[in-house]
Structure 1
């Protein structure tokens, strides 16, 4: 497909926006009128920039408050349109967007509106131009695409067609199924936008909270599918009004934008393939859609790698040994040590000059890489590259294992591990294991405290990274987002959203701080662009694990007695269980599917800390109701 984006979707000057759009691989763009009005150049110069960058100017927009007006206002609007046509011809734009009328002067007379649109199309045709009519969700008379199509059909002019916008349709909960009945050649342009489901004024929602497809909650896949089934073959474009995007570096936003369109196309392509395989009859799109390698089949986090300096390496080792880990191996060629407990593998990288050290400026402790088990590691990396992620190849020594790796948003790595290779064989390729086991102070059985697996990893992100990570998780890793929550830290609000695969073997929790004073915000400032906030380790008996850990000197975040006094007022619990929770300092949550018990280790700085968790039944969340108690307790620590 021909891929396009509106300049209003990006930050920067017009030239900077166009350079970012071209760098991300777009074919063309929509020119938002204000961007041209504020451009320090003329229409001829803009045309030269387009030619230099290899971009087509697909749409000039918007032309407002035109149809259904009294005669005097209509005459003035025609003069205004002629001046816009002058500009379009000079800059090389052939299509103008006319959005439905929001003026209090508009007359609710379809015949008048259609006749005026016919005149506008006739004026455009005389210049070799076309006009696309779009229904604004807040249009005074015309707000639905079916109403806009009725006016276009009544006007009956070859140079007048319909412009569809997913936000205007889906925000009103209008059914896009009727789009398939509109002739494809009368749909002149398609604008896509997603959005979170918000209960707020429609205009404010539209102008401040749209997002790229895959970042929100709208069914944009069905919307695109219905439009293509109608026979549409024109540009697939993005028109996104979003306050955060207006502040975010435009090159990064443009990459997200392209990734969102590729993901959207791939989702429609996948639906078409499924329909074909099951014999279901669906009209095939008349365009070629993007078809990347399949979504990876992930089956757990195989390891977490920390970047440390020498001092931090000693501190982290002491902490891991306290937590019951044993030193399982030393890297064959690098200053890297492997620690293990159950199916948990933690790698501590103190190698001078490594990507891990340079990425985090060699200070403190930060997570630099996650190892994800994949059924086909090479295919997983290939999908990531196809979805505009960058591949990373680390230097390896003789006989060492090369695992496909990608750079994730913010600069960390995800390495894809072969699920067919057991952990011992996998790490034996890179680590000398037998010697390290002999050096261990005690055998694993004596040090183990019952921690079995990595339950989830929580990331602290900058506010401008949350949507990026939601899209990346969906498009690249095949993880689906859960509910978006707001949690109360003593110094501000934390917005939190989990993403996970279908069998919940891979879970990430994405946290952003709306304040600069929270612990989450400090995590972002330490890592530069955000990083792992804490690591949750799962066990089968949290009471036994905590008892053993306390005996080993592990200190946990103290929880107020008031929390335990309140707990039985919220949940119907056995008093004996409440007493046991209180004595152990363990937090508790319950859902209809099961229970969640968890506790957090103390940590004196803003680096990662650990959470010990036990899931009972089919509990599927992260104990968010207890987050304020944990954050308040951390804030009160000396």
Structure 2
């Protein structure tokens, strides 16, 4: 008896997780079994045919765009630096709309030129949200684990609440939560309707001993869920969000130098195996860890 295909429609991939052109990445993600994609602004802006051609590629791929990333070092600036970032934000919002994304990802500032005043930072995030509102775009704010003022998700949540904009919410990233050892019980204090996006990744060692090592690990040594040493934490992270009532998208944001030297379809297949583990093994508790699975063909 033929088993029904496994539904991993809640999971997608970031284009940053593989090498190649935008067309190559989209094809690999689709052929790997996914129906959604998180687009990197760099992949879109760097497309040879320009923005319009990049947008057509995305539409023709049949993939739903779950988000567009990432606006960096936005909040807390003043004077000409603030004006400059507003211009950058407007440009990114235009690209975001052009490729069919209804979500812009923003990560907390690392700039030493930014104020640490939370009210001023909240005003900037609210201003960004108001710029996005007429375009039908939501803004998801993520706390980088090496952010200057906001480096854990409870702090990011506090800033989102201070800003109090209808289209401003929280983005969660499992890597940053594990890197800072933020108690996952803190997830219980979040409003699931204000969690706009969740990114997932693992890494290969238990301890990160410095901020420098944290940045290096984040940018070069992430792995897909189930491939690292934090599988139990990842399972807890996802099930806690599920119990909380989160029903939004998950995406694999995996920066890994080794994956950049592999065929994109091979990387996508590794990601799909992680999606199966999380969907059927964690959320439905029916399959073992990815390294123990023998997956059947989806054909």
Do they superpose with TM above 0.5? yes
Query: 3-state SS of the aligned residue for 1:188?
Result: strand
Corresponding residue of 1:196: 204
Kindly indicate whether the alpha-carbon contact (under 8 Å) linking 1:221 and 1:267 is maintained by their aligned counterparts in 2: no
Distance in 2, Cα, partners of 1:37 & 1:86: 12
Give 1:261 deviation, angstroms.
1.3
Give 1:112 deviation, angstroms.
0.5
Kindly indicate whether the alpha-carbon contact (under 8 Å) linking 1:194 and 1:214 is maintained by their aligned counterparts in 2: yes
Could you list the per-position Cα deviations for residues 496-549 of structure 1 after superposition, in whole angstroms to 9, with x for gaps in the alignment? xxxxxxxxxxxxxxxxxxxxxxxxxxxxxxxxxxxxxxxxxxxxxxxxxxxxxx
Point out which structure has higher relative CO (alpha carbons under 8 A, 6+ apart).
2
Kindly indicate whether the alpha-carbon contact (under 8 Å) linking 2:129 and 2:168 is maintained by their aligned counterparts in 1: yes
Corresponding residue of 2:61: 53
TM-score, normalising length: structure 2: 0.89
Corresponding residue of 2:218: 206
Distance in 1, Cα, partners of 2:291 & 2:91: 46
Deviates more, 1:87-96 or 1:108-117: 87-96
Give 1:71 deviation, angstroms.
3.6
Corresponding residue of 1:75: 83
Corresponding residue of 2:4: none
The reply to whether residue 238 of structure 1 matches residue 246 of structure 2 is: no
Query: 3-state SS of the aligned residue for 1:29?
Result: strand
Could you list the per-position Cα deviations for residues 59-88 of structure 1 after superposition, in whole angstroms to 9, with x for gaps in the alignment? 111101011112432222112111111222
Distance in 1, Cα, partners of 2:176 & 2:19: 23
Corresponding residue of 2:282: 268
Distance in 1, Cα, partners of 2:292 & 2:180: 25
Unaligned 5+ residue runs, structure 2? 1-8
Distance in 1, Cα, partners of 2:19 & 2:293: 23
Kindly indicate whether the alpha-carbon contact (under 8 Å) linking 1:101 and 1:139 is maintained by their aligned counterparts in 2: yes
Corresponding residue of 2:156: 148
Kindly indicate whether the alpha-carbon contact (under 8 Å) linking 2:140 and 2:168 is maintained by their aligned counterparts in 1: yes
Query: 3-state SS of the aligned residue for 1:78?
Result: helix
Give 1:473 deviation, angstroms.
2.4
Distance in 2, Cα, partners of 1:150 & 1:235: 22
Give 1:270 deviation, angstroms.
4.4
The count of corresponding residues between Structure 1 and Structure 2 is 281
Give 1:24 deviation, angstroms.
1.0
Largest Rg, 1 or 2 = 1
TM-score, normalising length: structure 1: 0.43
Corresponding residue of 1:167: 175
Distance in 1, Cα, partners of 2:42 & 2:67: 14
Corresponding residue of 2:73: 65
Distance in 2, Cα, partners of 1:111 & 1:475: 49
Kindly indicate whether the alpha-carbon contact (under 8 Å) linking 1:32 and 1:60 is maintained by their aligned counterparts in 2: yes
Kindly indicate whether the alpha-carbon contact (under 8 Å) linking 1:260 and 1:475 is maintained by their aligned counterparts in 2: no
Corresponding residue of 1:34: 42
Distance 1:199 1:90, change over 3 A: closer
Question: For residues 504-519 of structure 1, what are the structure 2 equivalents within 5 Å?
Answer: none
Q: Which has the higher strand share?
A: 1
Query: 3-state SS of the aligned residue for 2:256?
Result: coil
Could you tell me which of 451, 459, 473 is aligned with 2:291?
A: 473
Kindly indicate whether the alpha-carbon contact (under 8 Å) linking 1:7 and 1:32 is maintained by their aligned counterparts in 2: yes
Give 1:472 deviation, angstroms.
4.5
Give 1:131 deviation, angstroms.
0.7
Corresponding residue of 1:408: none
The reply to whether residue 18 of structure 1 matches residue 26 of structure 2 is: yes
Distance in 1, Cα, partners of 2:129 & 2:262: 38
Distance in 1, Cα, partners of 2:293 & 2:227: 10
Give 1:8 deviation, angstroms.
0.7
Could you tell me which of 85, 88, 107 is aligned with 2:93?
A: 85
Corresponding residue of 1:223: 237
Distance 1:177 1:475, change over 3 A: farther
Corresponding residue of 1:316: none
The reply to whether residue 247 of structure 1 matches residue 261 of structure 2 is: yes
